[in-house]
Amino acid sequence: MPRLPVILISCALAAAAVASGCGEEGAAEGARVTVYVSAPMHGPEGAAGEGLCVEAREQAAQGKGDSELKLRVICLDASEEGGDWSLAQVGANARRATEDSTAIAYVGEPEAEARRQSGPILEAAEIAQLGRIGGRQAIAQVQAALDEGDASDPRAAVFDAVE
């Protein structure tokens, strides 16, 4: 029974995080939104994962697009200690993105099996998943969706555009 208080506290913290996000008015001009990139950063696929992250960050730093929102890229390692990617780590990465009220998109996973793990988690939170695509292309798609979609709800704009 001692786990119940921990669960209640966790739920309260999650609700507070969501409440501190965009709010009823939507995202304010100049607000920061986040794209998560999840890929193995170590082991045999590490170089490709690092490349995906670098491309995404470079594209976001170029600031292309008409949206007044600031795009931040957070890279998450989907590999386990030995270097191979891990379904448990993929799930943890997807859950981390869903806990961030500024998250609007998730780039990854390179492996289809991993996308099947993270996909339902992200879909339930209506966070767009862009898989099997380069970092530059993924961020360009996100920027285009932000430019064309409803600026007051950037998560929905990207989710609807990528669907």
CATH number at residue 105: 3.40.50.2300
Note whether residue 25 is domain-resident: no
Note whether residue 99 is domain-resident: yes
Looking at residue 79, what DSSP letter applies?
Answer: B
pTM, two decimal places? 0.80
Note whether residue 23 is domain-resident: no
Element (H, E) at 32: strand 32-39
- Alpha-carbon distance of 39 to 121, in angstroms, equals 16
For residue 50, the enclosing domain spans 33-162
Contact 49, 61 (CB under 8 A): no
Note whether residue 17 is domain-resident: no
- Alpha-carbon distance of 38 to 134, in angstroms, equals 12
- Alpha-carbon distance of 118 to 23, in angstroms, equals 26
Note whether residue 16 is domain-resident: no
- Per-residue pLDDT tens listing for the chain (163 residues): 444 443 333 433 343 333 334 443 455 667 899 999 999 999 988 999 999 999 999 999 987 666 688 999 999 999 987 778 889 999 999 999 999 999 999 998 878 888 899 999 999 999 999 988 999 999 999 999 999 988 789 999 999 998 7
Domain count along the chain? 1
